[in-house]
Chain A
Amino acid sequence: MSQAAPRPSFPHRHLLGIEGLSRPDIEALLDLADEAVDISRQVEKKRSTLRGRTQINLFFEASTRTQSSFELAGKRLGADVMNMSVANSSVKKGETLIDTAMTLNAMRPDMIVVRHSQAGAVHLLARKVDCSVINAGDGAHEHPTQALLDALTIRRNKGRIEGLVVAICGDILHSRVARSNIILLSALGARVRVIAPTTLLPAGIDRMGVEVFRDMRAGLKDADIVMMLRLQRERMNGAFVPSVREYFRFFGLDGEKLKLANPGALVMHPGPMNRGVEIDSEIADGPQSLIREQVEMGVAVRMAVLEALARNLPNG
């Protein structure tokens, strides 16, 4: 973003996940994102870094916030942004993925941002196109820009990530946000905990470098960051947990439970929130909440990712 500073290198063609990124890779993106925050806070928000570039947002799964965040990020850097929402109901699932990829590839985009309900779908698509591919969430696998924006938010508020105790709480089993965050925050030296009932924990989670808690109160003790995850409606009523009220009682974040964390603990949520299911409204809107700031950091991180990948494009 600033022409004078030495450009941190980011030696990857795609951003398919946090897995495979080194600590310097991650830090380079966060540094770049810090600059993007400054740009976004000015009256003149537009840069020409990506002028002439075409960015396609290909969303097989509806997502207002992530898609608009990527759209804004691309536009602020001067790219031409096209949104393609392929509702899962209108296409026979998966069948069109490769065809869609080939069709879009023929339009010669420079970057494709993809969200898909299936783990690995973005990897599959990346093998079929010539441009850079950014994973905007694939099934229960990864959501790398969410983890980056979470890390940026933490770093700007705490001044560091190394040594912090981060408690990720909720539906770990189905969460790509949790997977990306576990990898990223561990790589930057945080102590990551996961808190959930066993029915919402993936097998082998204890071998992924995290501390596992089934008791939220124990898991929140000494936490510097409390990261809540969304519990989807179809999983609340008997399938994975017996009921909403039981879930909120034991795994919902309210003022009383938050007191068990460190006094300066900060609360995060990737959104959209289920108020009264995993998080109490007073907490979500309270002084310890970073939830709105996360949204702002989202745009900045996506600008950083787009710019870092664009540098590696031909003629970049």
Chain B
Amino acid sequence: MMPFNAHAPIALVNARLIDPAKGVETRGGVFARDGFIVAAGGDVGAQSVPSDAQIFDCAGDVVAPGLIDMQAFVGEPGAESRETIATATAAAAAGGVTTILARPDTNPPVDDPAVVDFLKRRARDTGRVRVLPMAALTRGCEGREIAEFGLLLEAGAVAFGDAGRSLRNAQVMRRALSYARDFGALIVHFAEDRDLAGGVMNEGEFASRLGLSGVPAEAESIVLERDMRLVALTGGRYHAALVSSEQSLEIVAAAKKAGSRVTCGVSINHLTLNENDIGDYRTFLKLRPPLRREETRRALVDAVASGLIDVVVSDHDPQDVETKRLPFGEADFGAVGLETMLAAGLRLVHSGDIGLPQLLRAMSTRPAEILGLPQGRLAPGAPADLIRFDPDEPFVVDRETLHSRCKNSPFDEARMQGRVKLTVVAGAVAYEAA
């Protein structure tokens, strides 16, 4: 990452400040020095900040904490043809994401302190935003032996998961939860029964008409239900990485009500798209878990609005053209999303389904709280990770102009509102729109 000091103080003034941590909105500015917020509020204006400060007049645009994305694939090490930390963080900065939790299922996987260290150094040297390593839950992400949680935490890992590989063995999950608890570590799990999830899209009438094999919601909920029992048994801390169905919402709600230390996330794709968007076999919409029905999408949006779903992630998953320009059944899963996550989320704000502070809370404050980070709020002492955007500014997504190495965006040619104009990481400008 960039050197986090040695910058002039920075001030974003004349802004519509939204602090999702407090749920308040005020007219004013933010002043930061040495990478941290010094003051935020109505009394911060162009006149009140020191003369050596770099001042941005935001002309009434929203200024909010930078987004924290709990699930993105950054390509390093081992998949640099798909993405690098440089390109992923360029996309992130352009999309208003100031912290990325990098997926551990790389090659080699992040199951060794040396790989955590490698990622931290690469992020420092080539990244525009913060990249935090998630470490493997099991050695090699193979689901058999638990990883060295203690050593990995010491090296700088912030959570543990096997990304796209769901843990089959309940005994391994039980021990992982128990052992991680001793270290206060968070387990992030993608709940999927691999046998039931053999299909390529949501099971139902639409899949049947297309002649494609389906994945039922139970492929997710059966494993999630198992995990909730194990969380209750062990007292471990668990985050369901991607929920996609009403069944999963019920399961998480019950676990939360019972006092388990459980949180969950949803991908931006599942909040803004449904299975019908696959249309004529569009492989950019081939996702895991699969896009579900419109009723399900609405239920997921409601759950973000109510706070039942804690976190919204990009689930950024760059895929080469060669693995997407194939018949639907043979194409790889995944979509890029870092750069379009905020604008896609704003669709829900514009449609009146969710308030802007609630959306930003699920994209910054809650991830920070779950990961134990000081970000996600506009308060003195917090890291100066800030974004400026006009939520109404219209634009059309052109995948060719995206910063990611891969262009597999399900939102290509989509009309959106709310492009990021300025991204500040640790008090320094990481991105400024032309």
A120–B328 contact, CB under 8 A? yes
- B-side binding surface: helix, strand, loop or mixed? loop
Q: Provided the pairs A119-B210, A120-B281, A179-B211 are in contact, do residues A204 and B204 lie with their beta carbons within 8 angstroms?
A: yes
A176–B211 contact, CB under 8 A? yes
Residues of A within 8 A of B280 (CB): 120, 123
Cβ-based interface call for B208 (8 A): yes
CA distance A127 to B192 in the complex (A): 34
CA distance A278 to B323 in the complex (A): 38
Cβ-based interface call for B325 (8 A): yes
CA distance A98 to B206 in the complex (A): 25
Name B281's contact: one of A95, A123, A176, A202 (CB within 8 Å): A123
CA distance A118 to B326 in the complex (A): 9
Name A97's contact: one of B204, B209, B213, B326 (CB within 8 Å): B326
Residue of A118, A120, A176 most packed against chain B (CB within 10 A): A120
Cβ-based interface call for A138 (8 A): yes
Cβ-based interface call for A139 (8 A): yes
How many whole Å from A2's CB to the nearest CB in chain B? 36
Residue of B208, B214, B216, B280 most packed against chain A (CB within 10 A): B208
Instruction: Render B24-59 as a binary contact track against A, CB cut-off 8 A, 1 for contact.
Output: 000000000000000000000000000000000000
Cβ-based interface call for A82 (8 A): no
Q: Provided the pairs A139-B211, A179-B211 are in contact, do residues A121 and B205 lie with their beta carbons within 8 angstroms?
A: no
Residues of A within 8 A of B206 (CB): 204
Cβ-based interface call for B78 (8 A): no
Residue of A98, A138, A141, A207 most packed against chain B (CB within 10 A): A141
Residues of A within 8 A of B203 (CB): 203
Residue of B203, B209, B328 most packed against chain A (CB within 10 A): B209
B327–A116 contact, CB under 8 A? yes
Residues of B within 8 A of A94 (CB): 326-327, 330
B209–A98 contact, CB under 8 A? no
A203–B205 contact, CB under 8 A? yes
Cβ-based interface call for A205 (8 A): yes
8 contacts between A and B (CB under 8 A): A94-B327, A119-B210, A119-B327, A120-B329, A141-B210, A141-B212, A179-B208, A203-B205
- Chain B residues at the A interface, C-beta cutoff of 8 Å: 203-214, 216, 280-281, 322, 325-330
- Chain A residues at the B interface, C-beta cutoff of 8 Å: 19, 93-95, 97-98, 116, 118-121, 123-124, 138-142, 176, 179, 202-205, 207-208
Given contacts A94-B326, A119-B281, A120-B280, 4 further A-B contacts (CB under 8 A): A98-B325, A120-B210, A120-B328, A204-B205
